[in-house]
């Protein structure tokens, strides 16, 4: 197997499995561990994978966006901590926007007993609140994206644009000091950007793996975000650099 074929296979494994390990890849592809390390270094340089201890995880790009199954398995403990910390930031809010993604779904589960009005583009978040007797759920209409079970396009944007929201909990595919908050799909970016505009307090909820990355469509500058909530896995020095750009940073 030549290196190009092997590297394409490694990327496919990473996107399917959520993570690849040097040792297991070497066994599976019948090559030396050092060969796999060189492959992972090359793929990281091409921004297809991100190196982690012992292996690599996939990076989301304009051509690749992870699905719900992957998102529900990766950084799971961290996402639960982020969701818990997010609820602590409500500070008496009565109206909330919940973005698409798995972490907003976890936030929905934690506020199901509160007296709130929740606007969301996410069928996952709405489903988590379906049996709540205290939460009023307003589900945005529009085209449903099967990969994330969320609505986009003009129906969603126009309805959201007519509202004033106390707190918006937003996810992102990537966030960087140079390019702000970015995502892979222009239609998704339009909904997210509208949520930032109509929210009194836009809050980013993002696992540490999203930081230092850049995707295709920018929907917010860092200075537009009030607070970033991530995990303690986000390096403290990096957190300080993001905080210097405008938002408060909480490491949960």
SS3 43: helix
SS3 218: strand
| CATH class for the domain made up of 69-251 | alpha beta
Res 49: pLDDT:
87
Q: In this predicted model, what pLDDT tens digit does every residue of 76-90 receive, in sequence order?
A: 899 999 999 999 999
119 close to 150: Cβ distance less than 8 angstroms: no
Give the Cα separation of 196 and 165 in Å (integer).
9
Alpha-helix runs per DSSP H in the chain: 3-17, 22-29, 33-45, 68-71, 76-87, 102-110, 123-128, 154-161, 186-198, 236-244
Res 76: pLDDT:
86
Q: Kindly report the CA angle at 39 between 67 and 74, in degrees rounded to 5? A: 25
Res 181: pLDDT:
98
- Mean pLDDT in each 10-residue stretch from start to end of the chain (252 residues)? 89 81 93 94 86 83 56 78 98 97 96 98 96 97 92 97 98 95 95 98 94 92 98 95 98 98
Q: Which of 37, 72, 227, 59 is nearest to 147 (CA)?
A: 72
CATH 1.10.10.10 occupies which residues in the chain? 3-59
Res 46: pLDDT:
83
List the beta bridge partners of residue 211.
175
SS3 148: coil
Give the Cα separation of 83 and 111 in Å (integer).
10
Q: In this predicted model, what pLDDT tens digit does every residue of 20-76 receive, in sequence order?
A: 899 999 999 999 999 999 999 999 888 788 888 898 888 765 455 666 565 656 678
Res 69: pLDDT:
61
Number of alpha carbons in the 13 Å side-chain half-sphere of residue 28: 12
CATH 3.40.50.1360 occupies which residues in the chain? 69-251
| CATH class for the domain made up of 3-59 | mainly alpha
């Amino acid at each position: 197997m030549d290196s190009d074929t092997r590297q394409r296979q490694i990327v496919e494994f990473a996107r399917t499995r959520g993570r690849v390990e040097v040792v297991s890849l070497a066994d599976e592809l019948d090559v030396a561990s050092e060969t796999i390390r060189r492959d992972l270094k090359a793929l990281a340089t091409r921004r297809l994978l991100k190196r982690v201890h012992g292996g690599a995880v996939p990076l989301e790009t304009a051509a690749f966006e992870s699905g719900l199954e992957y998102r529900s398995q990766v950084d799971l403990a961290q996402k639960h901590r982020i969701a818990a910390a997010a609820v602590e930031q409500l500070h008496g809010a009565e109206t909330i926007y919940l973005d698409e993604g798995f972490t907003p779904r976890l936030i929905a589960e934690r506020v199901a007993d509160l007296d709130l009005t929740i606007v969301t583009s996410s069928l996952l978040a709405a489903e988590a609140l379906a049996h709540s007797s205290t939460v009023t759920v307003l589900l945005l209409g529009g085209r449903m994206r099967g990969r994330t079970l969320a609505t986009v396009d003009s129906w969603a944007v126009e309805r959201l644009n007519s509202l004033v929201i106390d707190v918006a909990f937003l996810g992102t595919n990537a966030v960087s000091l140079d390019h702000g908050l970015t995502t892979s799909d222009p239609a998704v970016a339009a909904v997210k950007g509208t949520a930032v505009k109509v929210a009194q307090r836009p809050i980013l909820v993002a696992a540490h793996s999203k930081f230092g990355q850049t995707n295709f469509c920018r929907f917010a500058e860092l200075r537009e975000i009030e607070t970033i909530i991530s995990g303690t896995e986000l390096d403290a020095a990096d957190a300080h650099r993001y905080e210097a750009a405008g938002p408060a940073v909480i490491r949960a």
